[in-house]
Amino acid sequence: KLIGARYYLKAYEAQYGKLNTTSEYRSPRDHDGHGTHTASTVGGRAVHNISALGGFAHGSASGGVPLVRLAMYKVCWPIPGGDLALENTCTEADMLAAMDDAIGDGVDVFSISIGTTGDQPSYASDGIAIGSLHALKHNIVVACSAGNSGPKPATASNLAPWIITVAASSIDRSFESPVVLGNGSEVQ
C-alpha cells in the first residue's frame, strides 16, 4: 500500500532553524494527522459495518481508489512558536524538491492538500503551479485543494488551469426533507 515515503526540510531549516523534534517527527511520519487523513481519502481500504449520522446510516466506506499504491512526500512543518494545530508552513523550495523527486519516481497522480492565504501569486512565481506544470509535461495528473481561507471572495488557491482544484463548501440555508425509515418512522 505505502510504497515510498520521503521528507523535505532543507529550505524550512534554512529559514526557521533546526526542526524542534519535541513537537514534530524528523521523518515522513505524520504528526498532526492531516497527511494520514488525505491519504485515506484517496486510498483507504474498505471498512464494513460502519454507522454514521447518529446510527441511522449503516454500510461500508472506502477511499476513492482503495487499492492504490501510495508514495508520500512530507513538506510541511510547524512554524516555531506557533499553534501546532494551525500554524504550519511549506516552503516552495521543499515542495519543488518533493515534486521533482515524485516525477523521477514515476508517480501517476499528485494529490496536494496545501493552500495559501492572502493574495495569490502569479503562476510564474507560484511553486505549486510551476511544479504542477512540470508534472503535467510528464503526463502526471495534479489535484490540489483550494485551501481553507474562505468564505470571503477570492480566497481559493491553486488555480492554475493545468491543476484540478477541489473544494468543499456550505451555504447559508437548509433544504430539509423527512427521511422515512423502513419501520415507517420519519427522521427530519
Question: Over the stretch 125-169, which tens digit does the pLDDT of each residue have?
Answer: 999 999 999 999 999 999 999 987 777 777 889 999 999 999 887
Question: Over the stretch 82-134, which tens digit does the pLDDT of each residue have?
Answer: 776 567 899 999 999 999 999 999 999 999 999 877 778 899 999 999 999 99
Looking at residue 172, what is its pLDDT?
Answer: 72
Domain boundaries defined on the chain: 2-33+67-168
pLDDT at residue 180 tops 90: no
Q: Where are the beta strands (DSSP E) in the chain?
A: 2-7, 47-52, 57-61, 70-74, 76-78, 88-90, 109-112, 141-145, 164-166, 179-180, 186-187
Q: Does domain 2-33+67-168 have CATH number 3.40.50.200?
A: yes
Q: What is the mean pLDDT of the chain?
A: 88
Q: How is 31-63 classified by DSSP, letter by letter? A: SSSHHHHHHHHHHPPPEEEEEETTTTEEEEE--
CA pair distance 3, 25, nearest whole angstrom: 20
